[in-house]
């Protein structure tokens, strides 16, 4: 059956089925917009994403058993954003990168729209499943745990990249500073510091790894870059989050 044949078949469907399909399409559109906003929040601040989700979840828990508040909150949101297209905060062409569309938006703008999209999804579920006892919540413990795990891995990956960048910056500085110099400049290979980061060699510990300590001054965070050269010349690298005393090792 061709495209026009399928279209004609759809037109003969019962009105209730067409209505259900339209509702599902609207719900999926809102969910995609929420995913879009979430990705922009996550890209710049994973912790803000966690706080935003928890705020949306708290609102749903507080209003789930209060029909009057649900109706009042829905009426207020519809008055502010009467058309589904009004929820599209980015509003750019499909080929424009998200970071470009975000330039004119603040974190507060993104969080506010994320919360509004979350509420609209709750309202739409409420209309489809008016029985509160049987309604599946939008937010729950299982998804919250998945959120925390995902954001934890993302923060570890970001921190690992920052450690690698700090080490590369230090290495480039040492190579340039020591080029053509003799032993009097050997001490420069021990410490590097600028306004944002400090890198220095750590004393040998119980492991065979050669470790470098890294202090991120602006965020008051501490990392360790470690490597070990095997007999066959292979180099193993490890990255850790640590404390101010450089005693702890949490692999990232």
H-only helix segments in the chain: 3-11, 15-44, 46-63, 67-80, 98-102, 107-128, 141-178
Q: What is the pLDDT of residue 8?
A: 54
Q: What is the pLDDT of residue 187?
A: 43
Q: What is the pLDDT of residue 177?
A: 60
Q: What is the pLDDT of residue 189?
A: 45
Q: Which tokens in the block code for residue 39?
A: 């990705």
* Chain-centroid distance, C-alpha 26: 25
* Domain parsing of the chain, residue ranges: 3-139, 158-251
CA atoms within 13 A on the CB side of 158: 13
Q: Which residue has the tokens 């059956």?
A: 1
Long-range contacts of 133-139 (CB under 8 A, 24+ apart): 135/64, 137/60, 137/64, 138/56, 138/60, 139/53, 139/56, 139/57, 139/60, 139/61
What's the CA gap between 40 and 227, in Å, rounded?
Answer: 34
* Chain-centroid distance, C-alpha 235: 31
What's the CA gap between 37 and 52, in Å, rounded?
Answer: 11
- Which is it for strands 221-229 and 250-251: parallel, antiparallel or unpaired? unpaired
Residues of the chain with pLDDT under 50: 1, 4, 182-189
Q: Which tokens in the block code for residue 114?
A: 């994320």
Q: What is the pTM of this model?
A: 0.77
What's the CA gap between 237 and 211, in Å, rounded?
Answer: 10
What's the CA gap between 137 and 126, in Å, rounded?
Answer: 10
- For 74-98, give one letter per residue: b (16+ CB within 10 A) or e: beebeeebeeeeebbbbeeeeeeee
What's the CA gap between 45 and 106, in Å, rounded?
Answer: 12
Q: Phi, psi (5° rounding) for residue 83?
A: -115, 150
What's the CA gap between 181 and 179, in Å, rounded?
Answer: 5
Residue 127: count of CB within 10 angstroms of its CB: 9
Q: What is the pLDDT of residue 1?
A: 47
Q: What is the pLDDT of residue 147?
A: 97
Cβ contacts of 216 within 8 Å, gap of 6 or more: 162, 166, 196, 197, 222, 223
């Amino acid at each position: 059956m061709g495209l026009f044949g399928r279209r004609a078949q759809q037109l003969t469907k019962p009105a209730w089925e067409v209505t259900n399909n339209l509702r599902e399409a609207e719900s999926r559109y809102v969910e995609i917009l929420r995913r879009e906003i979430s990705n922009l929040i996550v890209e710049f601040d994973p912790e803000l994403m966690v706080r935003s989700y928890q705020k949306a979840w708290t609102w749903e828990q507080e209003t789930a058993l209060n029909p009057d508040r649900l109706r009042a909150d829905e009426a207020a949101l519809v008055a502010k954003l009467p058309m589904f297209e009004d929820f599209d905060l980015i509003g750019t062409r499909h080929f424009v990168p998200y970071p470009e569309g975000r330039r004119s938006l603040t974190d507060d703008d993104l969080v506010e729209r994320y919360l509004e999209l979350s509420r609209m999804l709750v309202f739409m579920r409420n209309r489809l499943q008016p029985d509160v006892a049987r309604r599946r919540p939008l937010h729950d413990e299982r998804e919250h745990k998945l959120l925390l795990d995902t954001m934890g891995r993302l923060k570890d990956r970001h921190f690992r990249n920052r450690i690698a960048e700090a080490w590369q910056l230090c290495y480039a500085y040492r190579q340039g500073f020591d080029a053509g110099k003799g032993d009097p400049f050997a001490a420069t290979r021990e410490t590097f510091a600028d306004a944002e980061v400090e890198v220095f060699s750590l004393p040998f510990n119980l492991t065979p790894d050669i470790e470098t300590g890294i202090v991120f001054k602006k965020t008051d965070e501490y990392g360790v870059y470690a490597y070990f050269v095997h007999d066959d010349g292979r180099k193993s690298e490890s990255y850790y989050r640590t404390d101010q005393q450089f005693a702890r090792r949490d692999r990232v």
